[in-house]
Amino acid sequence: MKNKIIALLVLFTVILFSSAQAQTTAHKFEAGKNTFLLDGKPFVVKAAELHYTRIPQAYWSHRIEMCKALGMNTICIYIFWNIHEQEEGKFDFSGQNDIAAFCKLAQQHGMYVIVRPGPYVCAEWEMGGLPWWLLKKKDVALRTLDPYYMERVGIFMKEVGKQLAPLQVDKGGNIIMVQVENEYGSYGIDKPYVSAVRDLVRESGFTDVPLFQCDWSSNFTNNALDDLIWTVNFGTGANIDQQFKKLKELRPETPLMCSEFWSGWFDHWGRK
């Protein structure tokens, strides 16, 4: 009996060690011909959107498990700038704001992560995640190449990079993709600005996984950059073939990805 207990303990230790090793194994994620590839094999991204700021930290694990139970293999997160830098120059990535802990928790549950750091994220969130104190500079032009705005975006991105760049999938983490800006075609046409944000994302350390940009099928070419993956956003009831038609014409071999599948909408006060 004693020998059996010892054998079971050894087996349990081996399983734990193997599990820990699996969690830190480096992988390669990339865009292949008409499909994403994980370690060279076709991989379908099935992502659920979870916002750590909207979920009490004690429930993070529960929500991730719910997504996994739905058949998802990836968690998609925005990074909310105005949560992490509520005062200019003072960053908080602790407790409820610990984005690295959130990503590591997703990995413990066998889930990959897509990071969407903005700087503007929309998400029906106060100022789309942009900090209120940016407006203290009266002539600031948000989401443009305004020198002050871009300086602060660069500082923010570097802080995000410190937290998450080490968790890219090729380093043994679970981050497989990073988004540049967010639906910018719905705001304006400014490729130099989108290009500058892309460069800041790369400079912050996100150089080992694909970068992508998202927009609507009607406007995604307005700011489309040649070196980014293009994804399209649409909702329930949409004609999917029609949504991807233009993208397939311009990039016939790109993986097709709906980066936001809208299943509802917010209410405007006073509207029906």
Residues 6+ apart with CB under 8 A from 52: 60, 77, 96, 97, 99, 102
Query: Known catalytic residue: 183?
Result: yes
Residue with tokens 């350390």: 205
Residue type, 92: D
Catalytic member of 124, 159, 183, 253: 183
Question: With b meaning 16 or more CB within 10 Å and e meaning fewer, what string describes 115-129?
Answer: bbbbbbbbbebeebb
CA-closest candidate to residue 144, choices 78, 223, 229, 212: 223
Catalytic member of 85, 159, 181, 260: 260
Give the span between the Cα atoms of 171 and 199, in whole angstroms. 21
Sheet containing 29-31: order of strands: 29-31, 36-38, 41-43
Reading the block at residue 257, the tokens are 């990805």
CB 185 within 8 A of CB 216: yes
Give the span between the Cα atoms of 59 and 233, in whole angstroms. 28
Active site residues: 183, 260
